[in-house]
């Protein structure tokens, strides 16, 4: 596969995952405002913005409307839902011959619908429903991808992009809820009962958690579920397993010298998560554990680029 094709498929998937994640967090946040006081609601908006690495996360003058616009619709914000979807569509456009026509038609339709949306109209109506619709559209795209695209090397790069992005997004979200305050980091009040429920909802995990632990809302059990559950699609462990699986499938005929670094790093991350326990993480600190997951994901990203996307002709001739 050409490196430019792999690059576009990989980033198309990452941007789609990023867009869906921000839309989901906004939807949960807007729904929760109905039952929260101003102070509690403000704290949760700050948590959400820090999880999304928003540069204005601690702006005291920001209100929910301004935050929603910046996170979702602001074209000047490179991480907004709209900009992420635009970037995903642009990458899809560059590889139209590699994806199915159904995939292209759906992502193009979602893009046109979102760019034509009037924010004032959406905010004055039912803004939470707007983000439900955006998220449903992205989930549908992912389903169409699984159903209509050949599950070959291109599909494996899509899987890799999706799950390396998801592992990082979930780790950042968990960090703002589970890690103790750092001297040089943001300070948050301790999450309350409904904050923990909202965290599960932000990970699409409330019902799945209740099926495992009943409806008992216990922070330690929530942490264990969202980090270590091997069967829940938005747990860190599930995403890490998918990253390692995708890398096993990519370029099986490529020279071992190019595959070795990616395989080694993915295997190390999988072992790090698989062979850790909640007791060990709690004893050593959740913040260092999540920071290590984020760092290792970045290292895998760099190795993938060096091995399959940005390698030079000299590397190719060396085999």
Flag whether 161 is in a domain.
no
- Same domain? 190 vs 216: yes
Question: Which of 73, 109, 69 minimizes the C-alpha distance to 89?
Answer: 109
d(CA 176, CA 187): 9
This prediction has a pTM of 0.93
Give the number of residues written for the chain: 319
Q: What is the full DSSP assignment across the chain?
A: --HHHHHHHHHHHHHHHHHHHHHHHHHHHHHHGGGS-HHHHHHHHHHHHHHTT-TTTT-TT--HHHHHHHHHT-TT-TTSHHHHHHHHHHHHHHTTTTS-HHHHHHHHHHHHHHHT--HHHHHHS-HHHHHHHHHHHHHHHHHHHHHHS--SHHHHHHHHHHHHHHHHHHHHHHHHHHSPPPTTS---PPP-HHHHHHHHHHTT-HHHHHHHHTT---HHHHHHHHHH-SS-TTSHHHHHHHHHHHHHHS-TTS-HHHHHHHHHHHHHHHHHHHT--HHHHHHH-HHHHHHHHHHHHHHHHHHHIIIIIS--HHHHHH-
So what's the pLDDT on residue 40? 74
91 in any annotated domain? yes
Residues 220, 83 share a domain: no
Considering the domain architecture, whether residues 76 and 219 belong to the same structural domain is answered as: no
* pLDDT value at residue 151: 95
Provide the residue range defining the domain that includes 184: 166-319
Select from 149, 179, 194 the last residue of a domain.
Answer: 149
Q: Is residue 159 part of a domain?
A: no
Look at residue 296 and tell me if it is in a domain: yes
In this prediction, residue 258 carries a pLDDT of: 72
Residues 254, 135 share a domain: no
Domain contains 138 = yes
Whether residues 238 and 106 fall in one domain: no
Are 3 and 311 contacting, i.e. CB atoms less than 8 angstroms apart?
yes
Query: Does residue 230 share a domain with residue 109?
Result: no
pLDDT number for residue 274: 96
User: Per the domain annotation, does 67 fall within a domain?
Assistant: yes
Are 131 and 72 spatial neighbours (Cβ–Cβ below 8 Å)? Answer: yes
Domain end point (choices 149, 175, 195): 149
10-residue averages of pLDDT along the chain (319 residues): 88 98 97 77 91 87 91 95 98 96 98 95 94 97 97 95 98 92 75 93 96 90 97 98 94 72 93 96 94 97 89 46
Residues 82, 209 share a domain: no
> How many CB atoms lie under 10 A from the CB of residue 22?
27
* pLDDT given for residue 161 in this prediction: 97
Q: What is residue 311's predicted lDDT score, i.e. its pLDDT?
A: 60
In a domain, 52, yes or no: yes
Taking CA atoms, 102 is separated from 28, 228, 306, in Å, by 29, 35, 32
Closest CA to 65 of 135, 133, 131, 124: 124
Q: What is the pLDDT of residue 92?
A: 98
Helix axes 153-178, 3-32, angle to 10 degrees: 40
**pLDDT for the residue numbered 254:** 66
Give yes or no: residues 176 and 297 share one domain: yes
| Other Cβ atoms within 10 Å of 249 Cβ, number | 15
Tell whether 173 and 317 lie within a shared domain.
yes
Number of domains in the chain: 2
In a domain, 69, yes or no: yes
100 and 198 share a domain? Answer: no
288 plus 228 within the same structural domain: yes
Q: How far apart are CA 99 and CA 149, in angstroms?
A: 6
Query: What pLDDT was estimated at residue 1?
Result: 58
**Same domain membership, residue 185 and residue 145:** no
Q: Which tokens belong to 316?
A: 């190719």
Query: What are the distances in angstroms from CA 163 to CA 29, 168, 190, 246, 267?
Result: 24, 9, 29, 9, 15
Cα angle: 249, vertex 92, 9; to 5 degrees: 20
Handedness of CA 273, 275, 278, 279 (dihedral sign): negative
Domain termination site, one of 120, 149, 178: 149
């Amino acid at each position: 596969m050409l490196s430019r094709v792999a690059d576009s498929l990989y980033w198309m998937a990452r941007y789609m995952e990023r867009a869906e994640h921000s839309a989901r967090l906004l939807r949960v946040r807007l729904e929760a405002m109905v039952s929260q006081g101003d102070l509690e609601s403000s704290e949760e908006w700050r948590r959400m913005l820090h999880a999304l690495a928003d540069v204005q996360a601690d702006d005291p003058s920001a209100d929910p409307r301004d935050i929603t616009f910046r996170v979702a619709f602001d074209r000047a914000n490179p991480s907004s839902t709209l900009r992420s979807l635009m970037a995903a569509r642009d990458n899809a456009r560059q590889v139209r011959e590699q994806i199915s026509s159904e995939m292209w038609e759906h992502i193009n339709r979602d893009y046109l619908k979102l760019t034509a949306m009037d924010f004032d109209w959406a905010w004055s109506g039912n803004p939470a429903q707007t983000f439900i619709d955006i998220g449903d559209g992205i989930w549908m795209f992912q389903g169409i991808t699984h159903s209509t695209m050949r599950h070959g090397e291109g599909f494996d790069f899509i899987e890799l992009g999706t799950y390396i992005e998801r592992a990082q997004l979930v780790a950042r979200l968990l960090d703002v809820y589970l890690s103790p305050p750092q001297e040089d980091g943001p300070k948050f009040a301790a999450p309350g009962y409904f904050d923990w429920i909202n965290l599960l909802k932000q990970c699409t995990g409330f019902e799945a958690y209740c099926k495992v632990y009943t409806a008992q809302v216990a922070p330690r059990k929530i942490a264990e579920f969202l980090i270590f559950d091997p069967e829940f699609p938005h747990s860190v462990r599930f995403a890490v397993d998918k990253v390692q699986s995708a890398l096993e499938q990519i370029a099986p005929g490529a020279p071992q010298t190019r595959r070795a670094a990616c395989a080694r790093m993915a295997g190390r991350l999988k072992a790090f998560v698989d062979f850790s326990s909640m007791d060990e993480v709690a004893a050593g600190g959740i913040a260092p554990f999540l920071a290590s997951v984020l760092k290792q994901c970045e290292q895998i990203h760099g190795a993938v680029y060096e091995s399959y996307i940005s390698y030079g002709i000299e590397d190719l001739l060396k085999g």
